[in-house]
Amino acid sequence: MGRNILITGGAGYVGSVVTGALLSRGYNIVVVDNLSFGGEGLLGVWHHPNFKFVKGDLTDKTTIPSLFNDNQFDGVVHLAAIVGDPACAKQPDLARKINLEASTHLLEEAIKRKTPRFIFASTCSNYGKMADPNGYVDENSPLAPVSLYAELKVKFESVFLKEIKKDEQFSPTALRFATVYGLSPRMRFDLTVNEFTKEFALGRKLEVFGEKFWRPYCHVYDFGRAIDLVLNADAKKVAYNVFNVGDTSENYQKQMIVDEIKKLIPILQVHYVSRNDDPRDYRVSFEKIKKELGFQISRRLPDGIREVKNLIDQKILLNPDDAKYKNS
């Protein structure tokens, strides 16, 4: 019998990939989602015998208790959120309600119902700007969020890593994911790699701001592999712990991303708009998850570029400019 896992936000860009990956690895999956961007991302798994969907809003006080009344979960993978700096800036009250208040309610319910595992999708944006421009930040570096989005991620991490009383039966883990890219059944084109590749593949000119600033990137498929690894890891290694998810060799400046795209789309028009300062400039070390859990990525940035280029070239999406492929 597979383990029962609740995935919140399972209809989203990351969630629909993670749901498919965990189903194929033998888990029983319950997805809860309020379908802010629709539910098409789940149609590919809809008939899977081990898949169940609950339409629900986590900010509705009855949704979370009823999920736990109806199911005995072995783990929670918490992805539901208002995602990204622009979306949180546009809806700050809703962001606080979902990303912090409802998240805390979910955590408390998971503890009360003796759910052994809890994985929270956090982000490397928690690090903000690097103090040493030539160095790398790691899990012990100071957190310096520069947006409401990252501030709420830092606050919720602190709730389960520092503020709640530790319980030996409970194993919460924060995964600070790199910026994601790649194909998903719920596609997003407001993510740097996906957006740049799409625009260039459509023959458009692109303005690139702050081309020298560093960020780490990770394929969405590897998010699912990391979550599976943590669900299966010895609780002692992951309980009340934090891991960056990505690979140290996958830190790129935006200009380097453009250069990678140029290898596949030689004639592209780009206008760089330099900036002297960007609060989100960080290079991240991913050595901890490699050493302690043996995590290795399976795809690199050029793989993602190729995927997105093929998607556009073959016109798989009728209108890739549709607003539904963006979070704000």
Ligand X SMILES: NC(=O)c1ccc[n+]([C@@H]2O[C@H](COP(=O)([O-])OP(=O)(O)OC[C@H]3O[C@@H](n4cnc5c(N)ncnc54)[C@H](O)[C@@H]3O)[C@@H](O)[C@H]2O)c1
Task: Select from 125, 6, 80, 58 the least CA-distant residue to 327.
Answer: 80
Quick one: 37 or 221, whose CB is closer to ligand X?
Answer: 37
Binding site for ligand X (CB under 6 A): 9, 11-15, 32-37, 57-59, 79-81, 83, 98, 102, 121, 123, 177, 179-180, 186, 191, 327
Quick one: 14 or 263, whose CB is closer to ligand X?
Answer: 14
Quick one: 107 or 121, whose CB is closer to ligand X?
Answer: 121
Q: How far is the CB of 238 from ligand X (least distance, A)?
A: 17
Quick one: 33 or 228, whose CB is closer to ligand X?
Answer: 33
Quick one: 59 or 248, whose CB is closer to ligand X?
Answer: 59
Q: How far is the CB of 218 from ligand X (least distance, A)?
A: 8
The residue number whose beta carbon is nearest to ligand X equals 12
Calculated CA dihedral for residues 318, 324, 326, 327, nearest 10 degrees: -160
Q: How far is the CB of 33 from ligand X (least distance, A)?
A: 4
Quick one: 33 or 260, whose CB is closer to ligand X?
Answer: 33
Q: How far is the CB of 227 from ligand X (least distance, A)?
A: 10
Count of CB atoms within 10 A of residue 61's CB?
10
Cα gap 50→165, rounded to integer Å: 34
Q: How far is the CB of 194 from ligand X (least distance, A)?
A: 10
Q: How far is the CB of 144 from ligand X (least distance, A)?
A: 17
